[in-house]
Amino acid sequence: MHRATTMEDNVTPARGELFSLPAGPATLCFDKNEFMKKTFSVDEFLHENRNAGSLEIIRDDLGMYLKVLRSAMIELINQDYADFVDLSANLIGLDQQIAAIGGPLEKLRDEVGQVKSALEASMTEIESCLEQKKVLRAHKKSLQSLGRVQGSLEKLDSMLLGERKDLPIDAILLERAALESIQLQFNIKFCRDFLDARKQRLAQELWSELLARLRGYFLRALEDTDPRELERCLRIYCTLDECRTAEDVFRKEIVAPFMNRVVSESSLQNAPQGLTGIYNQILDFVSMRMKQLCQLTKRNGKVKGYSFIVNSFWTEVERRMETNMSSIFAPGNPDAFYQKYKCTLEFLERIEQIIDDPDDVAQFKAHAQYRSFQVRWNLPVYFQIRFQEIGASIEASCATESATPQLTQSISASQFNVAQFSAALTAISKCWQEGIFLPQLFHRFLKLTLQILARLTVWCGGAFQLQPKQDGTAATPEEQQSARIRFLVALYSDLGNILLKVPSIVNLVAKKSPPGVDQSELEKVIGESGAGFREKRSQLQRLIVQELIANSLPQLRQVSDIPRLYRKTNRELPSRCCPYVEQILAPTDTFRKSYGAMVGEDTMREFLTGVYSHVTVQYYQVIDEVLTSVQKTEESLRRLKNLRDRSATASSTATATAAASTDRTAPSDDDKIRLQLQVDVMHYVRYVEEQATIPRQQVDQLPQLIQLVDDAIKGRPTVAGQ
């Protein structure tokens, strides 16, 4: 096995891809081709051939095949032995042959290096010559340009500074001079190093003279009713690439004098229409003096590259307003500031309408002076003043000293009864009313609205513990309690009303919101305040129920006095309820009659159900205690009587029997007590079901209370002797 593995390792990798293995004896127990597999494994080989024979047979067959392989290897060596000998003989003298070839090759390398050096020297010389030629060509071009500059200077001098200097302005001459001036400026760029100072001064004088003549021609064309002259002048400016110069000339010569007269503090004080009148005069200037300019230079006009509205008109107007009429920016008087700012916004909108191109309007709004003008209007200070005005009113209303206002004589369900709610709604309406709200301050006024609602919510939380004010100097505890209930109900009603006002507040804000504000987001934001009011309303409902419970529970103490009313008193059988039942029901009855129409039947039923559930639980406990006490007392009396009966003589037996018979027919004091409790409970139940219209199943332990008194009547203990 070991020798077979060695054969596979040494022979197969070397020759496996060149020839096939020699054939072995036919009696071999394995396939010889398995040794040629790349994935050959001894373990797999033994596993696959374990059924062919025992390990001894496999070992013998592998030994036989090893001998075959050795014989094949010897034969292969014998066949290639002559080639091995010839190969070693051919390698003799190879070093001398290589050395003989190296000499000529080194000589060839030296010759190639010499040729390369000669070529590099020639290329350097050629590059130097080309550079000299380039310099000469540039000098030649500069000299040619210098000649053209000289010619242009002479032409311009004759046209502008020669005999024509005092002649009237000629449009054709200006056009020729403009074209020649462009040629002059173009050529000067190529010969600036050769141009002496005198010629440079002359070129500058000629340029200034050309602009001066063009300025005069421009001012004359502005006065001409024929727009062709103005168009011609603007084209000359455009040819010279001096559009900004034309705009500057118009600003200084035409716009500035007019604005200096119109835009000033004295004009603002004396103008009949105030700032609006000044803005109208400014806009009239555009329609009177800039009509032709606007028509020629607008986007679809005949001349491009100008923006007289932005660079000439608006620049001067804004500068004059900041320096000569700075009082309009003062926010000290918010009403006046609002009017001036609204008037200014309308003025800017009319300017945008005059521009009448979206790209130009965007350029106008992006102008540095436009942004500076907007910043001068101190909107944060204006809002702070409005914030103090609006916030002071609601804060004064919610202050501690005025937190419990005097309520009206009649509480209404359709309007606010507590002054704080009216003040809050008035403050919210004021935030968005005309004369106060500015679209640029939308988010600040929205935040103020939310602050007002939040302040009202906080006040409601503190108002639950406050006592309402009373007319006069003194009031009984009952009157104070009644006034508190009245105040809490009014507060409860107002919380419901403010919840109904939330959608209208959302609509009011949505109408004033700028484009891009989603109304659903407003509903979500303002709705969070509504959730706070609903929570306060639920708390207030529980508080009112607690107040009514506190007024009703003290009367339950009288139930314990019922046994004293019938023991040893010989009273008649009870036919009506005790006064304490009416006293228990009196607070809820007064509450139902006074506020039922305002809070609604369903809400009133919720109030009363909460009150009666708590009172009934306490009522059940008190009656259960009384019945237990009555039963114990009755049993004690019965035991005592039985003891007396046993000690009596036989002669008195008949008399006792007759007395017992009489006792059976007449109700006892304990029976009267139980019957009185049943009458009281049934009167209580009838009121709950008939007057309050609440089913007995909805009141906690009310069915159990009825069952308790019924069982006391039906299951009363028998009297002695029965």
pLDDT digit string, tens, across residues 218-233 = 888 888 888 888 888 8
Query: What pLDDT sits at residue 703?
Result: 92
pLDDT digits (tens, 9 = 90+) for 308-345: 888 888 888 888 888 888 888 888 889 999 999 999 99
Of the pLDDT bands very low, low, confident and very high (cuts 50, 70, 90), residue 683 is very high
DSSP-assigned letter for residue 401: G
Query: What pLDDT sits at residue 616?
Result: 92
136 or 1: which carries more pLDDT confidence?
Answer: 136
Residue 268 is encoded by which pair of tokens?
């603002």
Lowest mean pLDDT among 186-200, 288-302, 604-618, 645-659: 645-659
Q: Percent of the chain beyond pLDDT 90? A: 16
Q: Among residues 392, 413, 416, 402, which one has the least CA distance to residue 462?
A: 402
Query: What pLDDT sits at residue 431?
Result: 92
Query: What pLDDT sits at residue 193?
Result: 67
Q: Quick check: 118 pLDDT over 50?
A: yes
Instruction: Write the CA distances from 652 to 642, 644, 646, 647, integer angstroms.
Output: 14, 12, 11, 10
Of the pLDDT bands very low, low, confident and very high (cuts 50, 70, 90), residue 292 is confident
Lowest mean pLDDT among 406-420, 424-438, 582-596, 673-687: 406-420
Query: What pLDDT sits at residue 411?
Result: 63
DSSP letters spanning 669-688: HHHHHHHHHHHHHHHHHHII
Query: What pLDDT sits at residue 225?
Result: 82
Lowest mean pLDDT among 30-44, 190-204, 683-697: 190-204
pLDDT digits (tens, 9 = 90+) for 73-92: 888 888 877 777 777 677 77
CA angle (102 as vertex; 97, 108 as ends), nearest 5: 140
Q: Among residues 100, 207, 118, which one has the least CA distance to residue 160?
A: 207
Q: Quick check: 372 pLDDT over 70?
A: yes
Q: Quick check: 170 pLDDT over 70?
A: yes
- For 543, list phi and psi in degrees, rounded to 5: -65, -40
Interatomic CA distance for residues 581 and 45, integer angstroms? 109
Query: What pLDDT sits at residue 167?
Result: 62
pLDDT digits (tens, 9 = 90+) for 449-471: 999 999 999 998 888 776 665 55
Q: Quick check: 376 pLDDT over 50?
A: yes
Query: What pLDDT sits at residue 720?
Result: 28
pLDDT digits (tens, 9 = 90+) for 416-448: 888 888 899 999 999 999 999 999 999 999 999
Query: What pLDDT sits at residue 704?
Result: 92
Instruction: Say which amino acid occupies 229.
Output: E
pLDDT digits (tens, 9 = 90+) for 645-671: 776 644 455 444 444 444 445 677 888
pLDDT digits (tens, 9 = 90+) for 272-284: 888 888 899 989 9
Q: How many CB atoms lie within 10 A of CB 526?
A: 21
Of the pLDDT bands very low, low, confident and very high (cuts 50, 70, 90), residue 414 is low
Averaged pLDDT for residues 14-27 = 65
Instruction: Say which amino acid occupies 292.
Output: Q
Interatomic CA distance for residues 374 and 358, integer angstroms? 20
Query: What pLDDT sits at residue 719?
Result: 32
Residue 122 is encoded by which pair of tokens?
């020639």
Query: What pLDDT sits at residue 384?
Result: 93
Q: Quick check: 614 pLDDT over 90?
A: yes
Strand ranges inside 304-425, DSSP E? none
DSSP letters spanning 127-171: HHHHHHHHHHHHHHHHHHHHHHHHHHHHHHIIIIISGGGGSPP-H
Query: What pLDDT sits at residue 385?
Result: 93
Query: What pLDDT sits at residue 660?
Result: 47
Averaged pLDDT for residues 570-591 = 87
3-state secondary structure of 367: coil
* Cα pseudo-dihedral 364, 365, 367, 373, rounded to 10: 120
CA angle (671 as vertex; 667, 672 as ends), nearest 5: 90
Averaged pLDDT for residues 238-253 = 89
Query: What pLDDT sits at residue 364?
Result: 84
Interatomic CA distance for residues 172 and 170, integer angstroms? 6
Interatomic CA distance for residues 314 and 308, integer angstroms? 8
Mean pLDDT of the chain: 81
Q: Quick check: 192 pLDDT over 80?
A: no
Averaged pLDDT for residues 534-538 = 91
Interatomic CA distance for residues 376 and 72, integer angstroms? 110
Query: What pLDDT sits at residue 24?
Result: 79
206 or 390: which carries more pLDDT confidence?
Answer: 390
